[in-house]
A and B are shown apart, each in its own frame.
Chain A
Amino acid sequence: MPFPLTPGAATEMDPDMVYSRIVQNRFVLACLLLILLYVLISFGGKFYLPYHPNVQNLYEANTGPSCNHWLGTDYLGRDLLARILAGLRISLVIAFFATLINITAGFLVGSIAGLSGGIADRFLTGLIDLFWCIPPFLVVVMLTVVLEPGVKNIFIALGMVLWVPTARIIRGEVYQLRNAPFIRLARMHGAGYTRIVFMHILPNCFPVLLTTAIFSVPDAVLAEAFLSIVGLGVTAPEASLGVLISDGLQSFRVYPWQWFFPVLTLTIFVLCFNLLGDIIHRLFRDRSKGILEND
């Protein structure tokens, strides 16, 4: 007697459903759209903006928002809108590469430490702890001094500092996973570390990695902004958002728009990423929601 499949028995918990739920979530889409908008506008700015960000025009210095200059000009007469978009470009590039280095290094170090155990683990954990203890900005400052300020060096420096918490988190996850039967089985079957890391550890760490990466972008941008305010950021005449904010600070009382618009841009950008990260984190966490009150 043939027994047909139980009708309509799909569960609510398969991994695919979480990812599709994320993609279908309206807030996520809104944030992603905003970010995309930011990227498009800033990188496309070159083509449609009337003013070049570095062209000075002392006659129009320090003018407020007007039809000519939508967001006003700075003390050298440079169009603020163009400057902000250029700054955004630079900040995005920095944030992107810094995050890339961050999660790559963090994931590799964390998973090697977590998987290998023994001396390698102790050594790597010691390294992580060492870096953790040193105030991160000190490291960045030292690195920028040694390597010369410039966009490339900033994101190298940032990447080298930001990987530490990621590695810690990943190591924790991997340490828990390594005793899982399916990983033990893979080892028993003779799988090498590379296979285990990429086939098993990575998909299982993906939620954590994704949220870490998303939160790391605003971290990098803010870190770079801080560096710029301190004076170690991007060199003139290029300007990142941080430089713009720091410049704007000086004339804050007299020409507030020079500070306000860069800050607004930065704030929206950071908020966007933080919101995105928060929602995604919550969606992953709520994956197996039950029916009881507090679930």
Chain B
Amino acid sequence: MNKAPLLSISNLSFHYPGARGNRNTLERIELEIFEGDRIGMLGESGSGKTTLSLILAGLERPSTGLFLFNGKRLLGRKAYRDYRKKIQYLFQDPMEAVNRYRKVFEIVSEPLTYRKTKKEAIVSIVSELLKTVGIDPLRWHDYPDQLSLGQIQRVCLARAMTTNPKILICDEPFSALDVSNCGKMKEILLQLNANHGVTLFIISHEPKSLFKLCQKILVLHKGKIIELIDTTRGQHAQHEYSRKLLEINTT
């Protein structure tokens, strides 16, 4: 299996322009993501995980280093704009990510309306996706305030999938959800990964969720990748810091 990686990052560093101090927000990141991968990112606040996700989403450009998509460098605004069309981003707080004055169906259809898709196509795509994420048709014309956070998060997921993205970046998708509902979200993410081939990149501070979902887990600390855990080989970590993070489970 000698596939070329979908995304390849080498020697990437980043610092915010105008930030004080010598320390970079991200330091010499090396990463390869293949299509259909499920990668998790674990780290505390300040470790640089949000910045890395923004770079992956094409919203920030690396200060130094290589960022290759399908083997090619991204140069220029047009390249970045085209790249961004293939990425979708799921935000942490689902209530903030939707316009509370729009109905659920309109919220999910929004990206398609921006791309000037035909109305019949929109209806069929959106209906299909809403069914996939498990939102009852009775709720399709409700406002976000009438739904629970878990349901809104799934609505956001449906919205993200309307454009058939290659990579889906989820920023702490489970932290706002109830315990009884996270599982449904995880199940749907796995389904989407298996059926639609979306590459998942999940940021979380809960190791247990990442172990259930991801094949690889990146552990970030102070802007550097401490370790890349291969979950197919069990729940061990080698680095001391990673062990500390994982130990929270078993006190």
Interface residues of A (CB under 8 A from B): 5, 10-11, 13-16, 180-182, 185-186, 188-191, 195, 199-200, 203-204, 206
Contacts and interface: CB of A to CB of B under 8 A. Distances in A.
Given A189-B111, A189-B114, A203 B146 contact: no
Given A10-B146, A195-B114, A182 B99 contact: yes
A206 B136 CA distance: 30
Main secondary structure, interface of A, reads helix
A61 to B, nearest CB: 58
B97 interface: yes
Interface centre among A5, A188, A204 (most CB of B within 10 A): A188
B142 A181 contact: no
B89 interface: yes
A191 B111 CA distance: 8
Contacts of B99: 182, 199-200, 203-204
8 contacts: A14-B145, A15-B101, A15-B145, A180-B97, A185-B91, A186-B110, A195-B114, A199-B102
A188 B89 contact: yes
A186 B142 CA distance: 20
B118 interface: no
Contacts of A199: 99, 102
B145 A11 contact: yes
Contact of A16 (B91, B114, B143): B143
Contacts of B138: 5
Given A16-B143, A188-B84, 13 more contacts: A10-B146, A14-B142, A15-B100, A15-B145, A181-B91, A182-B97, A182-B98, A188-B89, A189-B110, A190-B85, A204-B99, A204-B101, A206-B101
B230 interface: no
A13 B97 contact: no
B96 interface: yes
B33 to A, nearest CB: 20
Interface centre among A13, A16, A185, A191 (most CB of B within 10 A): A185
Interface of B: 59, 81, 84-85, 89, 91, 93, 96-102, 110-111, 114-115, 136, 138, 142-143, 145-146, 159, 163
Nearest to B96: A181
Given A14-B146, A15-B145, A203 B115 contact: no
Contact of A182 (B59, B96, B114, B136): B96
B113 to A, nearest CB: 8
A189 B85 CA distance: 7
A10 B142 CA distance: 10
Contacts of A189: 110-111, 114-115, 163
Nearest to A3: B136
A186 B110 CA distance: 8
Contact of B146 (A11, A185, A186, A206): A11
Interface centre among B110, B145, B163 (most CB of A within 10 A): B145
Contacts of B143: 14-16
Contacts of A204: 99-101
Given A14-B142, A182-B99, A204-B101, A190 B114 contact: yes
A219 B110 CA distance: 39
Nearest to A190: B114
A199 B100 CA distance: 11
B89 A185 contact: yes
B2 to A, nearest CB: 33
Contacts of B146: 10-11, 14
A199 B109 CA distance: 13
B31 to A, nearest CB: 22
Nearest to A203: B101
